[in-house]
Structure 1
């Protein structure tokens, strides 16, 4: 049966990727850790966190704000916003953009963040309720805004185009990338800087996740029979996306092509995921990309390492792909960089794009023994050298909000 073609106006490619995470301070370090199967999950060392049942997180090592920002600028930026700008700088540098008046006027900046600048808010609450102070920092509101990462990127480059932020829990930056893709494909924007950031390693947030009892006491083992939960991680990833024709005209090297985006709502439960809802988003991305399911060779799974998510995701994949699911190669890079919440969709789309570009599929690290209910090829522990034409990047969020990106290799 012929596959219906989506109404694409322009082919859209990724020409720059910036990443800062527990796997390293840049894209090179991130990729090296991914293909090595090296997890960035470490004990957090803040003394006040001693009351937390779990002791590990995927924390960025070696990041110093003063290496990137003058004090006067850093004072207006919560940690997640700083990470947003650092990642955007790397993406823009790799893309080789030569800014002109038209690009600055119309380029879009679209980001995702689950929690925004809560570190600044937590400091204020601590001062009020623990230290009995009567005032909070005068910049608490602008520091805490979830859109401050997007705004800071806009100011960094003098960009005047559409600039906004999605907050859809763990699908936030996947929604940001998908809508940026649609804007560039339709011609609504000539280029976009899109991605996400979150910095969730602070006491109040750790206590909140502790109360949910979904965080692992040691490490993240997605799809393993003995998996014990997720691991929180902090990160930012930003991507530069633009029309293929424009990228080639200016001599840029495309990393991968974005070909489809699908999204859905489970409309069923605020925390328990639905295989049917996830499957709708996967089908949407396939349909939007004008491709057949059998063309897909790799899926970067949402793969949180929780009991509920991993079984649901395998069930959703089987709903969409049927018997072909047995031939798919799937991995969860959360096993290495942790669950980065609002940054997850972007950091995992970046991993997927790099995998397509370099012909290496990252593994599911920390894998121990198969779960009969997660009985697909999850690329256990060792990266796999294999060229794949088309891949998906899955994001499934609390609230039942699902977002899936389809990417194609340029090789």
Structure 2
């Protein structure tokens, strides 16, 4: 297969090259087995709230984000979500770390200028090395809380994020940073659907870029920060000086079908090395994903390879029925929403596809998952989750080194309100 080279533009570094490796064929495999499921909490007329009792609705900015780890010496589960009213339910600020506390998202990032709408929050846990004076290196949790901040009046768009700050006594607040999503060569674009991940050296951020003037998609974009520029020295306790602009790359290299990459997802990783992975689906469906493998040995430059991975076919799903109303729930097409990388089992991701379940006569929204070897650009296992009469959509996946995986997704039917299943 003919390889493709392209020149990459960076915010602060010299040019680099990415090459397209040969494509690989997919392999058939058994599907995951459903062990248990449960109904989750609803969106409401007032946006997502951690309560029951109101009819199910759908709001595009209401997807919850979650991270688990250690807090004050105990295992905690932290849940945050942004709803349509601009409120952030942040368990870190809860009165007992169990019940969510309502908090304006902009207040999480103190210092964001007036006029900026802070939305689409994400929480990322990174287990990273910390060394205090006279002590061995320890692995401590750092939590990255990140969001977009757009100002439609000035046509400015920023990514804003906070990182856990430590001092010799322990956790001591946060260090907050932000950067302009436009560089010197572009203006008038805004970031949408940002996603975040880390590897051993870098924080990676991706987003879809749209035009303020007509809200049309332009391209996907990648930014990368060295961890050393944003993670503070615990022996000092102070935040690092404001870092320079991150390395950046417009992801306008073609997919297997010639389309532009859309919703490129950086995989959340347990790898402490210098490899990072990204993946995207084809916007209009197809039989391949695009996988990106980056070398972050120098996190001030973006270097790597990308190419297609052949998969079972997937297509744009229908919108989902729900009980009590004829209004359909948007299933957000065949895009990816999350990906994970485990050193022992590879790259995992999942998307929504159209399918007709066994025993059904209508096409439904179904969930298709993939286990990928990102070094050989091949699928190791893949499968489809579907049930006659039901729609499954908005999926997420987690996995361990042994190759066990957990799927979570929304589900609804004409006679069932939307719930969360796994």
Establish whether TM, by shorter chain, passes 0.5: no
Which fold has the larger relative contact order, with Cα–Cα distance below 8 Å and residues 6 or more apart in sequence? 1
Q: TM-score, normalised by structure 1?
A: 0.30
Higher normalized strand content (fraction of residues): 2
Q: Which has the higher helix share?
A: 1
